[in-house]
Amino acid sequence: MEPLKQTGASEPAAQSQASPGTRFLKWLAGIPGKRSRAQRHALPGLVAYYFTGAAPHAIPVGDISATGLLLMTGNRPFVESVIRITLQRTDESGAHLNDSVTVNAMVVRWSSEGIGLTFIPSPPGTTSDGGAEPGVPADEKTLRRFLKRLDLPGLK
């Protein structure tokens, strides 16, 4: 097995050559093959949780867009790994608000800043009544509703 390579601005050709597995997962999720990068926004008060094998802890979200996010973590899952993350809003004191969503995401890159993920929503209708249930990955409609509540520009 080859060691994991860091992808970043210095390797644009490697990022444009997606593996067949990545292309299949994107096709399955309805993600177009070539897409422009969505505008990203810093959003204080948003944290993420995902299973790392250790006790759960809040991981800061560096930035977020309609298509993915950057998690500020030193953990380096393999590129193309699919992980289930829960995004949780917090208030100024860090207390959790009653507003979260769970969604599958694929690791598309990692760098010294953290890991870049793209959302992979569940197929339509898999989330009951379009509402978020704890631990159940959100469909496109549920994810977009959560992102709209974050007041991201361009998602009105």
CA dihedral 86, 128, 146, 22 (to 10 degrees): 60
- Residue 118 predicted with pLDDT over 90: yes
Span 87-106, pLDDT tens digits: 998 876 666 677 889 999 99
Tokens in use for 14?
């490697």
pTM score, whole prediction: 0.67
Least confident among 15-19, 44-48, 61-65, 139-143: 15-19
Instruction: Give me the CATH number covering residue 69.
Output: 2.40.10.220
Helices (H) and strands (E) in the chain, counts: 3, 6
Tokens in use for 133?
């249930």
Structural domain count, the chain: 1
Span 61-81, pLDDT tens digits: 998 988 999 999 988 899 999
- 138 located within any domain: yes
- 127 located within any domain: yes
- 26 located within any domain: yes
Q: Which residue has the tokens 């993915």?
A: 68
In contact, 45 and 92? CB cutoff 8 Å: yes
Tokens in use for 1?
């097995």
- 114 located within any domain: yes
Domain that holds residue 120: 12-149
Band of pLDDT at residue 33, cut at 50, 70 and 90: low
Handedness of CA 126, 129, 130, 133 (dihedral sign): negative
- 133 located within any domain: yes
